[in-house]
Structure 1
Amino acid sequence: MAFWSGWFGKGSAVATVEPPHAALQSAGGGVTITTSAELEEALRTGAVTASGSVVTPNTSLHEPTVYACVRIRSSIAANMPIDVKRRVDERTRVDASDHWLWKLLRKRPNRWQTPSQFKRMLGAHLLLRGKAYAMKVGSRGMILELIPLHPDRVECVQNEDLSLSYVYTRRDGRKVSLKQSEVFHLVGLTLDGVNGVSCITYQRETIGLSLSMRDHGATVFKNGARVSIVLKHPEKIGKEGLDFLKASLDEYRAGGESEGKALILEEGMDTAPLAMTAEDAQYIESRQFSRTDICMIFGVPPHMVGDTEKSTSFGTGLEQQTQGFLTFTAEDDLTTWEETIARDLIPEEEPDLYVRFNRSALVKGDIKTRWEAYVKALQWGVYSPNKVLELEDENPRPGGDVWYPPPNTAGGDTSNKDNADDPAQTA
């Protein structure tokens, strides 16, 4: 049993009774409220928007566009392989798969999560709260596990000597202090250099408006309040007839079994269809604008979340938008991970060690683009055939460790002539 099991209150021989707030706290994070002033502040601030919707990192995921953006962006680092390498000299790099960091990042970050689960979880925390934390569990200079900490329960403070310290609130309400050397700390957009900015906080009204429109549409369809036809009576209908007509209409539209059936009218009543009202059209248009705004907040092209209303469904337009997403959004996420790992996980006594995401994995699903790049790399002597086989997870072939000379050389390179008698170089 690891020593941190007791630190989290697990594995102890003495049973402890969790306070009533523990269940709620474990479900959605949050902090413990112990005074009336803290309760008043929680009730008055932040979460309630002008539209009336309560917007928190958890409720914002009920908006489909927010959920899609968080899923897409957090999955980039989660699904992309990360390589641990060592600099031998200025031009030579070798894989450091024998280092403990490789196992931590590629195989087992902790005892219950896979690497993709761990990175996706911290990526979602980073997007929704602007920060993500994990406690480092180490021994003898090695980090054995990374234990994710819910960001709502972590308070980060910069000390007078500019170092950082953390206070973690456990589920039972107890507070535990952590040093900067004990925490893996991802930070997104920041205004003070320490705490990340949450897009949910700064864009709460935009997301709240979208949630309100969604709730409005659901209520309309639930109550059947959108008028598609008008009933015309030749004379004035009495109160008894009006009550009977209302009851009949409520029964008709109460369930799905009446869908498509005829409505029986009495006393010479007639129907007339109504076209879509201006309010209906404005509601649909507002929903589209809301999706676009949320995509803009998260830096995701609208077509990636299924909104192709104002863009072509094929061709170079979408390809350029996708490339822009990879260049300006995905690259930002990958760089954040790489630099944070270099700062928090790589020992200072190993400056030659570094990590890098294998960005070539982004074209793994596009076999045409992938093999065109391989052909060019072979033609210009960048890759050998065995290197291509390695990238495709295939076994090397005999004589495949040869680098072909570029087809257009103007410098009269004679390196190929020097290797003419070498079977390994001419295979």
Structure 2
Amino acid sequence: MGIKSLFGFGQARDKPQDKAADAGYSFLFGRTTSGKPVNETTAMQTTAVYACVRILSEAVASLPIHVYQYKEGGGKEMVYDHNLYQVLHDEPNPEMTSFVFRETLMSHLLIWGNAYAQIIRDGAGRVLALYPLLPNKVDVQRDEKGEIYYVYSRNTEENPNFKQYGDIKLKKEDVLHIPGLGFDGLIGYSPIAMAKNAVGMTLACEEYGASFFANGANPGGVLEHPGVLKDPSKVRESWNAVYRGTNNAHKIAVLEEGMKYQQIGIPPEEAQFLETRKFQINEIARLYRIPPHMVGDLEKSSFSNIEQQSLEFVKYTLDPWVIRWEQSLQKALLLPGEKGKYFIKLNVDGLLRGDYQSRMNGYSIGRQNGWLSANDIREMEDLNPLSDEEGGNLYLINGNMCKLSDAGIFAGQTQQEESEPEPEEKPLENNRKRGKR
């Protein structure tokens, strides 16, 4: 099924014909039960959605990304001379940095549920550059042989590699596709589209609050007149002209001819308006699995649990996205002969280190128990290594931590040395000790 039909940009088909998947999902983006239309643009106009998308996009974009090679006999080492290192770590294309590229694709993934990038290769198949593709212009399809290919509908100048307009067919080896959660494993579904009613209610709450303050931050009311008014509309218009709007709030009203003002509106606190808005913020944070304190809700946060919530954010929210990125990059960018030798890794260790005191205690335990050297610790703290003469690669262990079979070896050697007989003294030396010559 194409992305355009999935999110309502095109018509759903009755029968699947040479498609990766197909169903009538045009209802996903569109008008909600609250009456507010929800799409990728209106959703990003809510502060909660914008904050969640920004937090996850910037988190993934800021992680160090490296290419590693498996070492013979076990272990790994970072590879700097691989062509993918320059593309992923520094500059995916001449127009973007690595941060901007990953931030853009991650925002696509969080809004549309899919992220696409065009792969530019040389004659040997090695990756030279990566260019983002807008998800709402991409269709995923199958040919008569069952092979997946992509159709990009170009009508603007966002990609310098496309010269013609209209539908452009791209081979699967020329597209980096990172799908989100989906039902068929090929196309991800948009979190915003799946939760459009929650987003629509958030938009409705914001619109209500804006209109409330636009009316002078006062609920509606009636003007009571003891007699009969000949022209009620004139009185209403004159009242609104003087007292309506935030600029006219708290002005003193002057009532003539025995008129009285009777308030009939319900204050927003009594209508639980603020509570509803707060709940909607948590609802959006729940959608993206973001801790509430990261989007500004500190009601249930304290100094004792914020750090733990931040670590849980890395383990349970960020780490699944990181794995999705790593495996998609390896699948699309590494050549078939390289997949058993190299792998791509986004490093989240820096986010899991905790506060300074906790890190130092952990390093101390590792150092004293012999599985961390000084250079291992300095590398994790981004410090320059020490030389071998300075003991940088020396592994130490406490004296009371040794094998049972080695226990008492030092003490046994000492007792043996003490029990050995002293060598016999020569006669001359004996005579000297007795005072004889």
Q: Matched residue of 1:119: which SS?
A: helix
**Inter-partner Cα distance in structure 1 for 2:240 and 2:138:** 55
Corresponding position: 1:211 with 2:209: no
The whole-number CA distance in structure 2 between the counterparts of 1:361 and 1:226 is 50
1:296 aligns with 2:279: no
> Are 1:105 and 2:95 counterparts?
no
Q: 2:56 aligns with which of 73, 78, 81?
A: 73
What is the CA–CA distance in structure 1 between the aligned matches of 2:400 and 2:249, rounded to whole Å? 72
Aligned-pair distance for 1:43?
10
Q: What is the identity, as a one-letter code, of the residue corresponding to 2:337?
A: E
**Cα separation, 2, equivalents of 1:406 and 1:137:** 55
Q: Quick one: distance in 2 between partners of 1:161 and 1:411?
A: 63
Instruction: For residue 284 of structure 1, give the secondary structure of its aligned residue in structure 2.
Output: helix
Give the alignment's TM-score, normalised by structure 2. Answer: 0.76
Describe the shift of the 1:231–1:403 C-alpha distance in structure 2 as closer, same or farther (beyond 3 A): farther
- What SS class does the counterpart of residue 39 from structure 2 fall into? coil
Q: Structure 1 residues 408, 347: closer, same or farther in 2, change over 3 A? A: farther
Structure 2 residue 366 is matched with structure 1 residue 377: yes
Q: Any unmatched runs of 5+ in structure 2?
A: 12-23, 156-163, 410-437
Paired residue secondary structure (1:124): helix
Deviations 1:126-145 (A, max 9, x none): 11111111111111332110
Relative contact order, higher structure (CA 8 A, sep 6+): 1
User: 1:239 and 1:280 mapped to 2: Cα distance?
Assistant: 36
More displaced 10-residue stretch of structure 1: 153-162 or 361-370 = 361-370
Q: Does 1:247 align with 2:235?
A: no
Give the AA of the match of 2:297: D
Higher helix share: 1
The aligned residue for residue 394 of structure 1 is 383
Describe the SS at the equivalent of 1:220: helix
Q: Which segment is superposed worse, 300-309 or 333-342?
A: 300-309
Contact kept, 8 Å, 1:131 with 1:185, in 2: the verdict is yes
Unaligned runs of 5+ in 1: 1-24, 34-40, 418-427
**Hey, what does 2:433 align to over in structure 1?**
none
Letter in 1 for 2:46: E
Counterpart-to-counterpart distance in 2, 1:61 and 1:403:
52
Q: 1:59 aligns with which of 32, 42, 46?
A: 42
Is 224-233 or 92-101 further displaced after alignment?
224-233
CA contact (8 A) 1:31 1:169 kept: no
Deviates most, 207-216 or 371-380: 371-380
1:367 pairs, out of 351, 356, 360, with 356
- In 2, distance between residues paired with 1:113 and 1:254? 45
The CA deviation at 1:158 is 3.8
Q: 1:184 aligns with which of 176, 179, 186?
A: 176
User: Structure 1 pair 134/407, CA: closer, same or farther in 2 (3 Å)?
Assistant: farther
* Residue 374 of structure 1, CA deviation: 3.0
Deviation at 1:167, TM superposition (A): 0.8
RMSD: 3.4
Cα distance, 1:406 vs. partner?
5.4
Contact 2:307 2:354 survives alignment (8 Å): no
| Residue 157 in structure 1 maps to residue 141 in structure 2 | yes
2:337 aligned with 1:349: yes
The 1-side partners of 2:245 and 2:229 are apart by 24
Distance across 1 between alignment mates of 2:25 and 2:195: 18
- After superposition, the Cα gap between the structure-2 partners of 1:186 and 1:267, relative to the gap in structure 1 and judged at 3 Å, is same
Cα separation, 2, equivalents of 1:272 and 1:67: 41
Give per-residue Cα distances to partners, 1:81-139, cap 9 Å, x unaligned. 01211111343211101211111111111111111111111111111111111111111
Change (3 A) 1:410 1:42: closer
Higher mean alpha-carbon deviation, 365-374 vs 48-57, is at: 365-374
Question: Is the contact made by 1:46 and 1:201 (CA closer than 8 Å) also made in structure 2?
Answer: yes
Contact 2:8 2:29 in 1 (8 A): no
Q: Does 1:96 align with 2:79?
A: yes
1:219-258 CA-to-partner distances (Å, cap 9, x unmatched) read 222123742888777x4474569844751453233452x4
Residue deviations 1:335-367 (CA, integer Å, cap 9, x gap): 001111111111221222112121122147843
**1:251 maps to amino acid:** V
- In structure 2, the CA distance between the partners of 1:325 and 1:51, relative to structure 1 (3 Å rule), is same
* Residues in 1 aligned to 2:363 and 2:228: alpha-carbon distance in whole angstroms: 80
1:282, distance to aligned residue in structure 2 (A): 2.8
Task: Work out the CA distance in 2 between the residues paired with 1:109 and 1:173.
Answer: 24
Distance in 2, matches of 1:173 and 1:31, equals 18
Percent of pairs identical after alignment?
32
What secondary structure does 1:333 align onto?
A: helix
Question: Residue 315 of structure 2 aligns with which residue?
Answer: 327
Distance in 2, Cα, partners of 1:230 & 1:354: 71
Q: Deviations over 1:24-74 (max 9, x none)?
A: x9xxx99799xxxxxxx9998841222221111121101111111111111
How many residues were matched structurally? 377
